[in-house]
Amino acid sequence: MSKLVLPHGSQELKPLLLDGQARADELAKAEGLKRVPMTSRETSDLIMMGIGAFTPLDGFMGREDWQGVCDDYAMPTKKGLFWPIPITLSAEESYAASIAIGEEVALWDVETESIMGTMKVAEKYSIDKEHECRQVFRTVDPAHPGVQKVMEQGAVNLAGPVKVVSESYYPQMFEGIYQRPVEARKIFEERGWNTVAALQLRNPMHGSHAYLAWIAIEVCDGVYVHQLVGKLKPGDIPAEVRVKAIDALVNKYFRKDRVVQGGYPMEMRYAGPREALLHAVFRQNYGCSHLIVGRDHAGVGDYYGPFDAQKIFSEIPPDALLLRPLAMDWTFYCYECGSMASMKTCPHESKAVIDENGAYKGGARLLLSGTMLRKLMSEGKPVPPEFSKPEVIAVLKEYYDQLEEKVEVKLHGFATGTKS
């Protein structure tokens, strides 16, 4: 009998991915169906439903659930099931008009030019895109990458139950890292773990990430280093490079019996607090009892306060999730302490001064962030040794040295410590 936390809203995982003859039959049928083109975000959401990471969803949301999720974090059609971000599929108005209610359609991934699944259309509806953005992203600023995605959606949403026939390129490209929830749960059970803390990563693992993971291991049976291998915004480090960098750190500086690495195919929305809740939902499905929530979880720019992603867990119903957050304070390297520390433990408040050659010139706290690390590496500037382990820096230097065109990385206030 498993002692792992139950999946979200269900006694068991509910993957929608077909295999064997059922998959072959569905693919053959899909070839003759009208194709609905999907964006990369919609494709990744479909795969998450396919592997059971979005248990207990059975398809893309209709209007009532879209409204309920936006306004109340709840799906009325599933007895008020807690859900923090709409999972929807859009189409252009003229194309949606050609699709009848009750019609089966093929779900077509535009980027890979492949059939990903099928859907029986139960509903067609329009939405107030700005309302969704205000609720989910707390802004309608088109410069926000998540807002931009929503505003570029087709005018009509299509809803209905889905069948999934493909996981795209993820199992092959990220072999050994990409995992379905059932696979992660099996590993945790084989190790005899009951409590598992998930560490969300979209950046290479710098010193603060490692410090948070080590703390989590002290209070849980193990840590699940769970990195996003889906699509990111320009300037972020590609998943294959990040996987290599994280491998270099984990393999040398962690006890192998206390850490598991995994990858998941969702695309970042950069929704800050709301996305932290979505990360909690699917980490519970992966078997995690806790989620490490740092100062700017899933944020971008200055759209969210440094601890908003922690505060939101106290604003939802106490029974919304079985998974609990591990709220961590701002962490940094302190030259006075001679170690990693946090606002809760370190009494030295002065900011460390680093010259243009990466040399320490005085002060105590060296604030670490993925954004700062990317900026230093992209500009070819030296990275202070306290920022990350040399094995990680070596991997990143190799990547940045071969780039012909570099994307400018802008620092926001929370990454530099100028806002709090």
**Mind telling me the catalytic residues?**
202-203
Q: Give Cβ neighbours of residue 35 (< 8 Å, ≥ 6 apart).
A: 105, 106, 107, 108, 115
310-53-17 Cα angle (round to 5):
165
Burial classification of residue 225, based on how many CB atoms lie within 10 Å of its CB (0-12 exposed, 13-18 middle, 19 or more buried)? buried
Instruction: Give the three-class secondary structure for 215.
Output: helix
Instruction: Give the three-class secondary structure for 241.
Output: helix
Q: Give Cβ neighbours of residue 225 (< 8 Å, ≥ 6 apart).
A: 199, 201, 205, 213, 246, 250, 259, 260, 261, 262
Burial classification of residue 338, based on how many CB atoms lie within 10 Å of its CB (0-12 exposed, 13-18 middle, 19 or more buried)? exposed
265-307-226 Cα angle (round to 5):
25
Contact 170, 334 (CB under 8 A): no
Q: Which helix or strand (DSSP H or E) is residue 339 part of?
A: strand 339-342
> In 10 A of CB 35, how many CB atoms?
14
DSSP letter (8 states) at residue 17? B
> In 10 A of CB 63, how many CB atoms?
15
Contact 85, 278 (CB under 8 A): yes
d(CA 150, CA 140): 10
Instruction: Give the three-class secondary structure for 245.
Output: helix
Packing angle, helices 370-378 and 390-401, rounded to 10: 50
Q: Which helix or strand (DSSP H or E) is residue 35 part of?
A: strand 34-38
266-271-276 Cα angle (round to 5):
75
